[in-house]
Amino acid sequence: MPSYEEARRIILEQVAVLPAEVQPLQGAVGRVLAADVVMPWDLPRWDNSAMDGYAVRSADCAGPTRLRVIGYIPAGGLPAGPVGPGEATRIMTGAPVPPGADAIAPVEDVEESGHAITLRGAVRPGAHVRRRGEDLRAGEVALGAGAVVGPGEVSVIASAGLLSVPVVRQARVAILSTGDELVEPGQPVGPGQVCDSNGVALAAAVLLAGGLPIQLGIARDDKPALLALLEQGLAADVLVTSAGVSAGDRDLVREALDELQVRQVFWKVDIKPGRPTAFGLRGRTPVFSLPGNPVSSLLTFEQFVRPALLRMMGHRQVYRPLQAALLQEPIARSPGRVNFVRVRLSRRADGALLASTAGNQETGILKTLLRADGIAIVPAEQGKLEVGQVVMVQLLRPDLVEP
Ligand code: AMP
Ligand code: MG
């Protein structure tokens, strides 16, 4: 049985980055660039004004000076001609600096009177001029392959004149719930029956990771039904099942996967909760068999499936950020294996991160997961968890705990 760290490493070693596809800018958001974006031209494309004001020759402007206004260049306009000695041209932000001029006198620094202006003080060479290529140079790699496309990246891509870019394809993730007790959400729930919440919950987790969930519904604890649906799921990029992997006599998932030539890489990980988690491969297709308990299935998705999906979709950063936090109360733990403790986080006045339990840590209590800001990863060798103890916490909602 692998340790938590070994299981995570093994999974990342086994998964392969998916092929690229060309996407329009909006479709590329959140995805990973599969090729460099090289600037075809300088940015900005010409020297231009950073202010509304007057384009001047700084040599004319050593002190208060009167200049003749010879023209006007709006944004999107072009200079009619050069600015000569003793002359100025009215210019708007972003408009090209006319030949002859080498500085901008902002409108608030001049007195305007008819076709002339008077400068209140000196204008130094280059003042308020944005230089051609000062942001990006023609031929420069503006964005490297591997960059995650966000608003800034889209801005650069559009400024390079591109409407689409190659990005790594989204992972298509087949999700299968298993168990005789399950009913589709929304259907009448009879005695002894349980709503299939894992199917939709795992689909939601796939969506938030940037993948495309394919919901296969419910497989009964019956071999032929299971085989048919698993085979269907194996056509996706990733197959995720829930339940049916512990040692119960109805736990047929492992057997069925074996019959379908899925090579089992590991079964059970030394963690709590989520020990009966299995990982296998058919060819390059990863298969995750998660525990049925809703808390365990979401926690194991978070620890094992999400990083795999992110890696397949080209992300370099696949793990949540970890931060040290001070425990505010003692927390019970199962010694001997890595424990995931659902915690709430807050900031002390001095900025220290504080962790307290998000509630009852029994795996049947989903609301504790809802209240959690993070998951404390308690090492196997860690003894009892006391007040003041430092724990490493995976931040589920980093924005909530900024200073
Ligand atoms: P199992 O792994 O099959 O022993 O299931 C463990 C527990 O998780 C049982 O209480 C199941 O009823 C519950 N469970 C299994 N699958 C689901 C599901 N899709 N949605 C909600 N609960 C489930
Ligand atoms: Mg079951």
Instruction: Note whether 176 and 123 are same-domain residues.
Output: no
Q: Is the pLDDT higher at 17 or at 114? A: 17
Query: What's residue 402's pLDDT?
Result: 60
Specify if 143 maps to a domain: yes
**Ligand that lies nearest to the alpha carbon of residue 194, given by its number in the listed order:** 1
State how far the Cα of 233 lies from the Cα of 257, in Å rounded to an integer.
11
Distance from residue 120's CA to the centre of ligand 1 (Å): 78
Instruction: Note whether 384 and 342 are same-domain residues.
Output: yes
Give, for ligand 1, the residue of 175, 176, 180, 182 to mutate: max count of ligand atoms closer than 8 Å to Cβ.
182
Distance from residue 255's CA to the centre of ligand 1 (Å): 18
Specify if 242 maps to a domain: yes
Specify if 204 maps to a domain: yes
Q: Which domain, by its residues, includes 150?
A: 24-42+136-167
Distance from residue 221's CA to the centre of ligand 2 (Å): 7
Distance from residue 256's CA to the centre of ligand 2 (Å): 14
Q: In 3-state terms, what secondary structure has residue 141?
A: strand
Instruction: Note whether 278 and 353 are same-domain residues.
Output: no
Does the pLDDT value for residue 403 go beyond 70? no
Determine the atom of ligand 1 nearest the C-alpha atom of 246: 2
Does the pLDDT value for residue 118 go beyond 60? yes
Specify if 114 maps to a domain: yes
Q: Sheet harboring 212-219: ordered strands across?
A: 212-219, 172-178, 238-242, 285-290, 278-282, 263-267
CATH number at residue 330: 2.40.340.10
What is the greatest pairwise CA distance in the chain?
A: 96
Specify if 317 maps to a domain: no
CATH number at residue 252: 3.40.980.10
Q: Which residues line ligand 1 (CB under 6 A)?
A: 177, 179, 181-182, 194, 196-199, 242-244, 246, 248, 291-294
pLDDT bracket for residue 148 (50, 70, 90): very high
Distance from residue 247's CA to the centre of ligand 2 (Å): 10
Q: How many Cβ atoms sit within 10 Å of the Cβ of residue 64?
A: 11
**Ligand that lies nearest to the alpha carbon of residue 182, given by its number in the listed order:** 1
Q: Which H or E run includes 312?
A: helix 306-312
Instruction: Note whether 275 and 204 are same-domain residues.
Output: yes
Instruction: Note whether 204 and 216 are same-domain residues.
Output: yes
**Ligand that lies nearest to the alpha carbon of residue 298, given by its number in the listed order:** 1
What mean pLDDT value characterizes the chain? 96
Task: Give the residue among 142, 145, 160, 141 at the shortest CA–CA distance from 32.
Answer: 145
Cα–Cα separations (whole angstroms), residue 218 to 171, 202, 205, 375: 21, 13, 18, 29
Specify if 210 maps to a domain: yes
User: Can you give the pTM of this predicted structure?
Assistant: 0.94
Q: In 3-state terms, what secondary structure has residue 154?
A: helix
CATH number at residue 149: 3.90.105.10
Query: What's residue 196's pLDDT?
Result: 98
Q: Which of 121, 151, 167 is the last residue of a domain?
A: 167
Instruction: Note whether 186 and 70 are same-domain residues.
Output: no
Distance from residue 243's CA to the centre of ligand 1 (Å): 5
Distance from residue 179's CA to the centre of ligand 2 (Å): 4
Query: What's residue 249's pLDDT?
Result: 62
Q: In 3-state terms, what secondary structure has residue 31?
A: coil
State how far the Cα of 104 lies from the Cα of 88, in Å rounded to an integer.
9
Nearest CA to ligand 1 atom 10: 293
State how far the Cα of 293 lies from the Cα of 374, in Å rounded to an integer.
19
Each residue's pLDDT tens digit, 204-254: 999 999 999 999 999 999 999 999 999 999 999 999 999 988 776 667 999
**Ligand that lies nearest to the alpha carbon of residue 221, given by its number in the listed order:** 2
Q: Give the N- to C-terminal CA distance of the chain in Å, as an integer.
A: 40
Using CB atoms within 10 A of its CB, is residue 103 exposed (0-12), middle (13-18) or buried (19+)? buried
Q: Which of 278, 312, 346 is the last residue of a domain?
A: 312
Instruction: Note whether 179 and 281 are same-domain residues.
Output: yes
Q: How many Cβ atoms sit within 10 Å of the Cβ of residue 298?
A: 23
Specify if 199 maps to a domain: yes
Determine the atom of ligand 1 nearest the C-alpha atom of 197: 20
Determine the atom of ligand 1 nearest the C-alpha atom of 296: 8
pLDDT bracket for residue 305 (50, 70, 90): very high
Q: Which of 103, 130, 157 is the last residue of a domain?
A: 130
Q: Which H or E run includes 8?
A: helix 4-14
Distance from residue 216's CA to the centre of ligand 2 (Å): 17
Number of domains in the chain: 4
Determine the atom of ligand 1 nearest the C-alpha atom of 364: 10
pLDDT bracket for residue 264 (50, 70, 90): very high
Give, for ligand 1, the residue of 198, 251, 254, 301 to mutate: max count of ligand atoms closer than 8 Å to Cβ.
198
Query: What's residue 154's pLDDT?
Result: 98
Specify if 176 maps to a domain: yes
Instruction: Note whether 210 and 274 are same-domain residues.
Output: yes
What is the number of H-type helices and E-type strands within the chain? 9, 26
Instruction: Note whether 121 and 248 are same-domain residues.
Output: no
Instruction: Note whether 216 and 283 are same-domain residues.
Output: yes
Instruction: Note whether 174 and 296 are same-domain residues.
Output: yes
Does the pLDDT value for residue 27 go beyond 60? yes
CATH number at residue 100: 2.170.190.11
State how far the Cα of 93 lies from the Cα of 51, in Å rounded to an integer.
5
**CA 167, chain centre distance (Å):** 14
Query: What's residue 334's pLDDT?
Result: 81
Q: If phi over 0 gives left and psi between -120 and 50 gives alpha, with beta otherwise, what is residue 210?
A: left
**Ligand that lies nearest to the alpha carbon of residue 181, given by its number in the listed order:** 1
Instruction: Note whether 151 and 242 are same-domain residues.
Output: no
Query: What's residue 332's pLDDT?
Result: 84
Beta strands in 306-351 (DSSP E): 322-327, 338-347
